[in-house]
């Protein structure tokens, strides 16, 4: 670290810049100067998929500030975008490039959600746009000691974290076996099509299957998976994709002879949305005390139940990662839809995007 960097990161300078912090002043001079925060400039936008009538997908190359500490293949990052009207909205995106070091460029690959706020903005971004970042986060990563055989499974835009893994394995010239199964609607919807076509052509020791079940390719089933990867339940596996695909993989990783009925511990799952199947109990009343709105509990998470009543609580990731939806639950029991844990404490802070009520519940919204 240079003397200038050490100085601007010092407690004395931070205290002098209080209450705004030194980064507020540095940002005014140059948005790419930062002492603690992480920001990045978009340096390239590449269209990956453009099918008429379907949401486009683009890969953005980001040059982060020197405060970026790098990422492990499979991790995600919170991206904050200043939207028109001076609102900042934050969403989470997996890094799609190979593992990065401190200050290194990296990519995210974004599918535009036609009903969403941030993804459309990013897909149509121009080079030069500056975005706000967290450090890389998440435990969906390759282990330090790589196994002899890895299985990567993805569907749609869920390809991004496993593509980071695949690219990292290639960069490290991994000698072990890699099987990669990817599901897309059609060849025209295939993200990273050119690179995957090159891998399919050249091999590089990767057993690649690009599948389009809507065009007649086999859907994922235990029998089919067992033919492609014999003994797959014992192979370290990473899966990311739409809920039906992840559900099918999780079901296939349950050994019929296992009395617990739990998927094999070799299976690692990354979700882009909280799984719906593990919602809370339906019934009872959910009341939002500040707005005075109430309705019968549908079992969905509290963010969705508030939105269904016309409320507009702040949210970011909708996955329990960013804490922007935190609200006070005054009464009732909520179930964390990701972990299944329940909590009945009064006046506790909860993340409403991953909290589903079990029966009656009151939240300050």
Ligand X SMILES: Cc1cc2nc3c(=O)[nH]c(=O)nc-3n(C[C@H](O)[C@H](O)[C@H](O)COP(=O)(O)OP(=O)(O)OC[C@H]3O[C@@H](n4cnc5c(N)ncnc54)[C@H](O)[C@@H]3O)c2cc1C
SS3 string of 177-222? EEEEEEECCCHHHCCCHHHHHHHHHHCCCEEEEEECHHHCCCCCCH
Total residues at interface with ligand X (CB under 6 A): 22
Q: Tell me which residue of 241, 242, 264, 238 sits closest to 251, measured CA to CA.
A: 264
324 interacts with, out of ligand X, ligand FES, none, CB within 5 to 8 A per kind: ligand FES
**Which C-beta is closer to ligand X: that of 120 or that of 212?**
120
Q: Give the x-and-dash track for 110-129 against ligand X (CB under 6 A).
A: xx-x-xxxxxx---------
**Which C-beta is closer to ligand X: that of 27 or that of 99?**
99
307 interacts with, out of ligand X, ligand FES, none, CB within 5 to 8 A per kind: ligand X
Q: Give the x-and-dash track for 239-278 against ligand X (CB under 6 A).
A: ---------------------------------x------
Q: Give the x-and-dash track for 296-325 against ligand X (CB under 6 A).
A: -----------x----x----x-x------
274 interacts with, out of ligand FES, ligand X, none, CB within 5 to 8 A per kind: none
**Which C-beta is closer to ligand FES: that of 252 or that of 317?**
317
State both tokens at 283. 């019934």
Q: Which residues contribute to the site for ligand FES (CB under 6 A)?
A: 315-318, 320-325, 351, 353
Q: How would you label 60-92 residue by residue, b for 16+ Cβ within 10 Å and e otherwise?
A: bbbbbbebbebbbbbbbbbbbbeeeeeeebbbb
Sign of the CA dihedral with 112 first, then 164, 143, and 37 last: negative
Q: Give the Cα-Cα-Cα angle 127, 138, 142 (nearest 5 degrees).
A: 95
Chain residues that interact with ligand X, rule: CB under 6 A: 76, 91-94, 109-111, 113, 115-120, 157, 160, 272, 307, 312, 317, 319
């Amino acid at each position: 670290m240079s003397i200038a960097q050490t100085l601007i990161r010092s407690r004395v300078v931070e205290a002098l810049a209080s209450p705004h912090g030194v980064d507020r002043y540095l940002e005014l001079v140059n948005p790419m100067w930062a002492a603690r925060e992480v920001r990045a400039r978009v340096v390239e936008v590449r269209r990956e998929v453009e099918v008429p009538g379907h949401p486009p997908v683009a890969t953005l190359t980001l040059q982060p500030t020197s405060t970026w500490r790098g990422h492990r293949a499979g991790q995600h990052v919170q991206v904050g975008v200043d939207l028109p009207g001076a609102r900042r909205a934050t969403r989470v995106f997996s890094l799609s490039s190979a593992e990065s070091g401190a200050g290194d460029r990296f990519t995210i690959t974004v599918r535009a959600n036609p009903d969403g706020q941030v993804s459309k903005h990013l897909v149509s971004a121009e080079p030069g746009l500056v975005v706000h970042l967290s450090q890389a986060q998440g435990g969906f990563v390759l282990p330090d000691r790589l196994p002899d055989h890895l299985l990567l499974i993805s569907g749609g835009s869920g390809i991004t974290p496993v593509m980071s893994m695949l690219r990292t394995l290639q960069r490290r010239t991994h000698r072990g076996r890699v099987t990669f199964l990817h599901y897309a609607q059609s060849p025209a919807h295939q993200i990273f099509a050119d690179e995957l076509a090159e891998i399919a052509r050249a091999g590089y020791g990767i057993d690649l299957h690009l599948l389009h079940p809507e065009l007649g390719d086999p859907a994922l089933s235990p029998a089919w998976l067992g033919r492609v990867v014999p003994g797959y339940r014992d192979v370290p596996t990473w899966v990311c994709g739409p809920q039906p695909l992840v559900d099918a993989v999780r079901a296939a990783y349950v050994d019929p002879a296992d009395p617990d009925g739990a998927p094999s511990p070799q299976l690692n799952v990354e979700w882009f949305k909280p799984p719906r199947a593990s919602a809370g109990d339906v019934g009872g009343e959910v009341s939002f005390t500040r707005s005075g709105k109430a309705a019968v509990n549908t079992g969905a998470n509290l963010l969705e139940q508030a939105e269904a009543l016309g409320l507009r609580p702040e949210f970011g990731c909708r996955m329990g990662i960013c804490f922007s939806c935190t609200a006070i639950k005054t009464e009732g029991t909520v179930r964390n839809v990701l972990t299944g844990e329940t909590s009945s404490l009064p006046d506790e802070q909860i993340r409403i995007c991953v909290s589903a009520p079990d029966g009656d519940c009151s939240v300050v919204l």
